[in-house]
């Protein structure tokens, strides 16, 4: 959601801040702002705008002041409407302090009332402004101590960056529950809420943990806890690469990322399978393998697209292991009366590794004694740090808000985890070798579908007049139907619902007519005949049907209105081929409608508040 970028160094700060904000646009926001200062007192900028970063950039170009340090922010409205007054940075009564904030201050009302009694004047409707006035209220001659005292008084979550004109060439950043990463460049520091904001400048980073604070100054960085006790941290190197032509000739990041999926699958399995033994090798899980072997139940917790990966994982683990398996929305998980023990495992799945509800769910599971594992893409993320063990996707950055390549990566890695446990419990070497062979063929199968993108584009164009879609599938393809519907509604704003095909007669079939098409995932397998029956029921009610079917299946073409053919693989992996045309259909449908595909309205890439 909200994005933070700040810079101190020898370059002109403002262009770096604007570029960083643009690279954070995919997270979702409604307003933007910056505060940049010249340490020689030759000028400063304090600008805000509603809407796109481009609007802020227009204001910047009018002023054109050189500054050598500053902070900037993209805001997702929580407290107060999206207005310039409510946009960040916020300032204090003196107008010398500037602060940006991700997160929510839960006790802001009581703090605000007390500050008003002390004479402070508030101008915004935000919870964030309280922090600026709290720092001012505690400020004497020590900037760091004032920030520390202010943060010790707040309840809730924060990732902040703050500067003050009376303390030049200093930026203070801190976090609790909202990420802050510090990039270390050549005589410069760039801190942000997301590595994407500064990967062009450096891949050497330091991650702040909860209740840690860092002072960035000339050629120096000091990290402390909130009692100002110094903490020593060594920089880590991130293997993500910056590309000047980031879209690589594609119209949108989403389309680029759909076409990256053959490589994504290769990255997910590289060095992680032992072919001749039919088993996977996952170094991130090795420290807890003994505990994993004693598990009786496994629960996947996640949100959005990652939830559908978990739902796929439920079917998968039931097929390959003897575990009892469940899946739950992370946002609901911790409100249940959970009966967990040391024989329970909980797998937290998150692209960003910062999803607030998933993080809260894993913390609750740890309190109850469960083994908590993570499946994330972002190295050093909070979920990666707080789980007992885990596996990284290694899929590289995903910029499009609607996840595509990370979903497939997550599903591939779930296969590797299930294979590891299955082979240690009862899965035969022959079954293991067969699965590995087919996983290695996945990139080729996906490429075959991608080569049909123009045909899928034509199907999408044909269905542009329709405003409602039903997506159906059975067993392993039920999560794929759900994910396909989610993709369409996320980026095209068209109503779409995913359902298990067998549930159609229990309600949704009442909606079917010639104006309500259905997308049926009907590839070969033991549920195929059932799917054909469901399709016939739709056709009997004049419903139009688009089928995703197995290459060579001529029969289905006589039943449905349109067919998208895909290569055939084993049942367990077929959903990972079937999802590709659904991604492409959603993309082309939204593109024909002229939607802002990479930055769909009201959505954020990383949901860091509950």
CATH of the domain at 321: 3.40.50.10490
Q: What end-to-end distance do the CA atoms of the chain give, in Å?
A: 11
Is residue 360 domain-resident?
A: yes
Lowest average pLDDT, out of 28-37, 454-463, 582-591, goes to: 28-37
State the burial class of residue 434 (Cβ atoms within 10 Å of its Cβ: 0-12, 13-18, 19+).
Answer: middle
Residues 505 and 417 in one domain: no
Asked if pLDDT for residue 243 goes beyond 80, the answer is: no
Residues 286 and 201 in one domain: no
**Whether 170 contacts 163, CB under 8 Å:** yes
Q: What is the pLDDT of residue 240?
A: 66
* Residue 316 lies in domain: 253-449
* Confidence grade of residue 365 (pLDDT, cut at 50, 70, 90): very high
Task: Return the higher-pLDDT residue of 555 and 42.
Answer: 555
CATH of the domain at 74: 3.60.20.10
What is the number of structural domains in the chain?
3
Segment 33-55 shows an average pLDDT of 87
Is residue 110 domain-resident?
A: yes
**Max CA pair span of the chain:** 81
- Six token digits for residue 34: 């910056």
Segment 495-499 shows an average pLDDT of 94
Q: What is the pLDDT of residue 350?
A: 93
Is residue 160 domain-resident?
A: yes
Helices (H), 451-476: 453-462
Residues serving a catalytic function are: 2, 605
Report residue 185 CA to chain centroid gap. Answer: 26
The full 3-state SS of 341-361, as one line of letters, equals CCCEEEEEEECCCCCHHHHHH
Q: What is the pLDDT of residue 336?
A: 86
Residues 408 and 371 in one domain: yes
Residues 302 and 228 in one domain: no
Residues 437 and 462 in one domain: no
> Final residue of a domain: which of 406, 430, 449?
449
Is residue 259 domain-resident?
A: yes
- Six token digits for residue 520: 């049926």
The 10s digit of each residue's pLDDT in 395-418 is 888 888 889 999 999 999 999 999
Residues 125 and 90 in one domain: yes
Distance, in Å, from the CA atom of 182 to the CA atom of 220, rounded to the nearest integer, reads: 12
Asked if pLDDT for residue 605 goes beyond 90, the answer is: no
Q: Which residues pair with 301 in a beta bridge?
A: 328, 348
Q: Which residue from 173, 191, 184, 240 is spatially nearest to 378, judged by alpha carbons? A: 240
Residues 230 and 268 in one domain: no
- Six token digits for residue 249: 């000739």
Distance, in Å, from the CA atom of 511 to the CA atom of 505, rounded to the nearest integer, reads: 11
Cβ neighbours for 119, distance < 8 A, ≥ 6 positions apart: 93
Helices then strands (H, E): number in the chain?
18, 26
Instruction: Provide the mean pLDDT of the chain.
Output: 91
* Confidence grade of residue 244 (pLDDT, cut at 50, 70, 90): very low
**Strands, DSSP E only, in 465-567?**
468-473, 495-500, 518-521, 545-550, 562-566
Residues 176 and 57 in one domain: yes
Cβ neighbours for 133, distance < 8 A, ≥ 6 positions apart: 92, 93, 112, 115, 120, 122
């Amino acid at each position: 959601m909200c994005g933070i970028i700040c810079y101190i160094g020898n370059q002109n700060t403002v262009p770096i801040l604007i570029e960083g904000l643009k690279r954070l646009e995919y997270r979702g926001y409604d307003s933007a702002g910056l505060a940049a200062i010249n340490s020689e007192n030759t000028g400063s900028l304090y600008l805000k705008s509603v809407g796109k970063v481009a609007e802020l950039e227009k204001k910047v170009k009018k002023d054109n002041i050189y500054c050598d340090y500053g902070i900037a922010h993209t805001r997702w409205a929580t407290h107060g409407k999206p207005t310039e007054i409510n946009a960040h940075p916020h300032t204090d009564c003196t107008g010398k302090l500037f602060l940006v904030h991700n997160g929510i201050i839960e006790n802001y009302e009581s703090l605000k009332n007390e500050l008003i009694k002390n004479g402070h004047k508030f101008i915004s409707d935000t919870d964030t402004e309280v922090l600026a006035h709290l720092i001012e209220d505690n400020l004497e001659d020590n900037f760091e101590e004032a920030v520390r005292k202010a943060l010790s008084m707040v309840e809730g979550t924060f990732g902040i960056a703050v500067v003050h004109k009376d303390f030049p060439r200093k930026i203070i950043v801190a976090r609790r529950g909202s990420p802050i990463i510090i990039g270390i460049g050549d005589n410069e520091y760039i801190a942000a809420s997301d590595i994407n904001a500064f990967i062009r400048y450096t891949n050497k980073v330091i991650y702040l943990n909860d209740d840690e604070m860092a002072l960035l100054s000339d050629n120096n960085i000091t990290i402390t806890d909130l009692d100002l006790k110094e903490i020593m941290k060594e920089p880590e190197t991130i293997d993500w690469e910056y590309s000047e032509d980031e879209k690589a000739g594609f119209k949108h990041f989403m389309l680029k990322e759909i076409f990256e999926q053959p490589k994504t699958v290769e990255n997910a399995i590289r060095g992680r399978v032992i072919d001749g033994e039919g088993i996977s090798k996952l170094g991130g899980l090795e420290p807890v393998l003994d505990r994993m072997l004693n598990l009786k139940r496994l629960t996947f917790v996640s949100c959005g697209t990652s939830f559908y990966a978990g739902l796929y994982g439920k079917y998968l683990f039931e097929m390959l292991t003897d575990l009892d398996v469940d899946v739950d929305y992370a946002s609901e998980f911790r409100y249940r009366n959970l009966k967990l023990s040391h024989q329970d495992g909980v797998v937290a799945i998150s692209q960003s590794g910062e999803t607030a509800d998933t993080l809260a769910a894993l913390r609750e599971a740890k309190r109850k004694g469960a083994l908590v594992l993570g499946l994330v893409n972002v190295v050093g993320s909070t979920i990666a740090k707080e789980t007992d063990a885990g596996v990284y996707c290694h899929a590289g950055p995903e910029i499009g808000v609607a996840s595509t390549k990370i979903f497939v990566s997550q599903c591939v890695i779930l296969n590797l985890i299930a294979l590891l446990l299955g082979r240690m419990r009862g899965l035969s070497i022959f079954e293991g070798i067969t699965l590995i062979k087919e996983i290695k063929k996945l990139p080729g199968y996906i490429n075959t579908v991608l080569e049909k993108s123009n045909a899928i584009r034509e199907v999408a164009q044909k269905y542009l007049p329709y405003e409602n879609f039903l997506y159906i599938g059975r067993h392993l393809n039920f999560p794929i139907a759900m994910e396909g519907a989610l993709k369409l509604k996320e980026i095209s704003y068209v109503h779409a619902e995913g359902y298990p095909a067998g549930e159609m007669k229990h309600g949704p079939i009442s909606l079917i007519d010639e104006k309500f098409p259905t997308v049926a995932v009907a590839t070969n397998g033991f549920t195929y005949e059932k799917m054909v029956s469901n399709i016939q029921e739709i056709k009997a009610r004049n419903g139009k049907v688009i089928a995703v079917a197995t290459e060579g299946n001529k029969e289905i073409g006589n039943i449905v209105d349109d067919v998208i053919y895909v290569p055939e693989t084993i049942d367990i992996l077929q959903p990972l081929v079937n999802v590709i045309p659904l991604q492409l259909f959603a993309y082309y449908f939204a593109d024909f409608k002229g939607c802002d595909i990479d930055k769909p309205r009201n959505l954020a890439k990383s949901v860091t508040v509950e």
